[in-house]
Amino acid sequence: MRDVAALAGVSLRTVSRVINDDPTVADTLREQVRGAVDQLHYRPNLTATHFRRRDGRSFTVGLLLHDVANPFLATVHRAVQDVARAHGCDVLAASGTDDPLREREVVERLIARRVEGLIIMPAGDDHSYLQAEQMSGTAIVFLDRPPAFLAADSVLADNRKGAAKGVRHLLSGGHRRIAYLGYRQSTWTNQQRYQGYCAALRGRGVALDPALVRQDLCTAELAEEATTELLTRPDPPDALFAAQAAITIGAIRALRSVKQSESTALVGFDDFNTADLLEPGITVVAHDPVAVGSLATEILFRRIEGDRSPITEHVLKGRLIQRGSGEISPAFELSR
Amino acid sequence: MRDVAALAGVSLRTVSRVINDDPTVADTLREQVRGAVDQLHYRPNLTATHFRRRDGRSFTVGLLLHDVANPFLATVHRAVQDVARAHGCDVLAASGTDDPLREREVVERLIARRVEGLIIMPAGDDHSYLQAEQMSGTAIVFLDRPPAFLAADSVLADNRKGAAKGVRHLLSGGHRRIAYLGYRQSTWTNQQRYQGYCAALRGRGVALDPALVRQDLCTAELAEEATTELLTRPDPPDALFAAQAAITIGAIRALRSVKQSESTALVGFDDFNTADLLEPGITVVAHDPVAVGSLATEILFRRIEGDRSPITEHVLKGRLIQRGSGEISPAFELSR
DNA sequence: TTGAAAGCGCTAACAA
DNA sequence: TTGTTAGCGCTTTCAA
């Protein structure tokens, strides 16, 4: 910038004004400065700008997701980008892989970069470490799971109700032996979904059979194995509820391998690409990733822009999409 | 940091040394400083660090993709993150949506942030605007498409050969009337894939029939429409080659709607989730997104770390995955 | 081993 | 309308 000022024969201040489109600059000077900028290939240094600005704006928001490669989260990410862009901000995204230590490490780093706001899909159970940061003015919104030991906005899926809706759909179809295929038992979302499963059964007076519950199916492979084992038992379930898209896919593979995809009902939590193209189509309780990402980011920018209204917890409703797999009737069994 | 120094009763320099794990600090002082840091909830300001550093390191690399929500690109993104992380860098990712103007705008912005390196999946046809930046030391690697009017490393898929491989597979199966379902005709990758299609036909002495070529199918919906139209013509193709995953999915929908998914062969360029679960399984020419992202990022960091060896163009080979749809035989026709 | 002081590129307050 | 000067939070040079 100094070089530009020297070449244009003006002061730093004038160059700064031209760069920032300050109207109080004479047209001739503006042209001179623009010329010098082009000639020297000058690029303003956003880092220095942020550094000096009184308002501390860094034009950056941080986004911590379990995995940017997860199709659902990738779409959330895109929605966050689009809203952030509309507010003149870029997104620094990181993948946290479900590890509380890593969550903290990544978040500390984003804070060190002085992001204006932080959207966090948390892994840990204690977010009090963010208190100081929140106090000092960084906006924070939680995604997918609510914060613990911290007051902050959150955007959640209706895990409990959504799961219950899916399980009730199977119950209404006449199923009584409905298996629950869950993921990491320690996660809040899985706990919620499991509660929804239990509540739905209870609501219809169906006893919970622990033999039909499988937890900690963290990969599609584990889900496939567990489901195969479940389906080849002497007293198999007549329907499956999969608590997550990856588990749903594992369950489909298992159903195919034991040739029961046409006879055992399946409802999955979360939609996935091509679920409608499978045979049978996969019935799911779907949440809209664009809505999740957009809403979280809009709340974030409202806070950044000074909104001091009470903390909110937004719960997005899941929609049951019937495609066939959830509408399979239980087989008639003589023993009943 | 000043406050920390004051509280610990040492100079700024000493605090800086402790923060940066400089060994030349007495243990007692180190403890004092650490105590003050905790007490004041001090967080180093990475922006200021970058700003002042002689080597100009910003610990950030920029990544421009068409769309971070695209499943293939999302996995590329994750691979980039992982490698960057291993090098102590975060990733500032942006979506460019195939627009040259936007590409340039986003790239300029990343440059303004003084990223250490830039991985670009380009939309435009002229990258000479990056010359000044490259001169001044920013590493640049191109993804998916090579740069134009700029000498820079690139990591590409073997579009031409990969497409030819897929089309040859159909030819070997006895198909002669193979349709080409392409996307934006103006894109380099589509041109390459189309050339591969043409070359494969020519190689087997099959005349190119323009009536079987459909370009500019930019969405799955357009692909579905075009394919339906093609399949319901008087003289329909007996096999389809889809140049992109979204087109493949559109083509599958079309095949289903006219009840020809068991009789018309289909090979797609690029794999997609659950392609193996469809009926029939979808035969594709697949490229590994993790390999693409990792390789590009490793090259980037080699350059950042001073590698001055000649520019390279890495071409990753596609792998034909046979799942059924590409192995359907042409229907026996009396007219032949 | 530690400290004092300069300065990175820019903006903000104030003066002209 | 334009210029001068100070200083953001840190690293670096140089001296103690």
Smallest Cβ–Cβ distance between A90 and the set B46, B92, B256 belongs to B92
Between CA A16 and CA A14 the distance in angstroms is 5
Cα Dmax for chain A: 96
Determine the distance between A14 (CA) and C16 (C1') in angstroms.
15
Q: What is the pLDDT of residue A332?
A: 59
Q: What is the pLDDT of residue B333?
A: 52
Phi, psi of A132 (to 5 degrees): -60, -45
* Strand C nucleotides with an atom less than 7 Å from a protein beta carbon: 1-13
| Residue numbers in A near B68 (CB within 8 A) | 68, 74, 77-78, 81, 93
C12 closest protein residue (CA to C1'): A54
Q: What is the pLDDT of residue A57?
A: 87
Residues in A 49-68 whose C-beta is less than 7 A from nucleic strand C are 49, 51-55
Between CA A45 and CA A53 the distance in angstroms is 12
Phi, psi of B155 (to 5 degrees): -125, 115
The pLDDT tens digits for B276-299 are: 999 999 999 999 999 999 999 999
C6 closest protein residue (CA to C1'): B52
Residue B112 to residue A273, Cβ atoms within 8 A: no
Chain A closest-CA separation from residue B49 CA (Å): 10
| Residue numbers in A near B253 (CB within 8 A) | 277
DSSP annotation of B313 reads: E
Q: What is the pLDDT of residue A53?
A: 83
Between CA A253 and CA A258 the distance in angstroms is 9
The pLDDT tens digits for A150-187 are: 999 999 999 999 999 999 999 999 999 999 999 999 99
- Quick one: what percent of chain B has pLDDT higher than 90? 91
Between CA A127 and CA A109 the distance in angstroms is 15
Cα Dmax for chain B: 96
The pLDDT tens digits for B43-52 are: 999 999 988 8
Residue B108 to residue A74, Cβ atoms within 8 A: no
* Strand D nucleotides with an atom less than 7 Å from a protein beta carbon: 1-13
Q: Which residue has the tokens 């209204």?
A: A309
Instruction: Tell me if B267 sits within 8 A of B285, measured CB to CB.
Output: yes
- CB of B129 less than 8 A from some CB of A: no
Band (A120; pLDDT cuts 50, 70, 90): very high
Cis peptide before B236 (omega within 30 of 0): no
Instruction: Tell me if A183 sits within 8 A of A216, measured CB to CB.
Output: yes
Determine the distance between A16 (CA) and C2 (C1') in angstroms.
39
Determine the distance between B141 (CA) and C12 (C1') in angstroms.
39
Between CA A262 and CA A331 the distance in angstroms is 11
Question: Smallest Cα–Cα separation from A69: which of A99, A107, A95, A105?
Answer: A95
CA geometry: angle at B316 spanning B311 and B317, to 5°? Answer: 145
- CB of B98 less than 8 A from some CB of A: no
Q: Which residue has the tokens 């007692």?
A: B28
* Chain mean pLDDT for chain A: 94
Q: What is the pLDDT of residue B331?
A: 79
- The residues facing B119 across adjacent strands are B63, B141
Between CA B93 and CA A63 the distance in angstroms is 11
Give the pLDDT mean for A26-47: 92
Return all residues near A110 (Cβ < 8 A) that are at least 6 apart.
Answer: A62, A64, A92, A94, A118, B90
The pLDDT tens digits for A100-116 are: 999 999 999 999 999 99
Q: What is the pLDDT of residue B332?
A: 59
For A92, nearest residue in chain B (alpha carbons): B92
Smallest Cβ–Cβ distance between B47 and the set A51, A252, A278 belongs to A51
Q: What is the pLDDT of residue A333?
A: 52
Which tokens is A50 given?
């942020």
Q: Which nucleotide is nearest to A17 (CA to C1')?
A: C11
Q: What is the pLDDT of residue B336?
A: 41
The pLDDT tens digits for A264-308 are: 999 999 999 999 999 999 999 999 999 999 999 999 999 999 999
Residues 193-252 of B with CB under 8 A from A: 249, 252
For B74, nearest residue in chain A (alpha carbons): A69
DSSP letters of B214-229? E----SHHHHHHHHHH
Instruction: Tell me if B18 sits within 8 A of B30, measured CB to CB.
Output: yes
Question: Smallest Cα–Cα separation from B265: which of B177, B197, B165, B153?
Answer: B177
pLDDT at residue A334 above 80? no
Return all residues near B86 (Cβ < 8 A) that are at least 6 apart.
Answer: none
**Start-to-end CA span in chain B (Å):** 84
Q: Residue ranges of the alpha helices (H) in B138-177?
A: 159-172
Determine the distance between B2 (CA) and C11 (C1') in angstroms.
21
**Alpha-carbon separation of residue B328 from B175, B180, B196, B282, B336 (angstroms):** 9, 17, 21, 11, 18
CB atoms within 10 A of CB B307: 12
CA geometry: angle at B298 spanning B293 and B300, to 5°? Answer: 95
The pLDDT tens digits for B93-122 are: 999 888 999 999 999 999 999 999 999 999
DSSP letters of A318-330? PEEE--BGGGPPP
- The residues facing A321 across adjacent strands are A284
* Protein residues in reach of strand D (CB < 7 A): A 9-14, 17, 23-26, 28-29, 51-52; B 1-2, 12-13, 16, 19-20, 44-45, 48-49, 51-55
pLDDT at residue B335 above 60? no
Instruction: Tell me if A226 sits within 8 A of A214, measured CB to CB.
Output: yes
For B59, nearest residue in chain A (alpha carbons): A113
- CB of B116 less than 8 A from some CB of A: no
| Residue numbers in A near B51 (CB within 8 A) | 47-48, 51
Determine the distance between A40 (CA) and C14 (C1') in angstroms.
30
Q: What is the pLDDT of residue B327?
A: 97
Band (A5; pLDDT cuts 50, 70, 90): very high
Determine the distance between A50 (CA) and D8 (C1') in angstroms.
9
Between CA B164 and CA B178 the distance in angstroms is 12
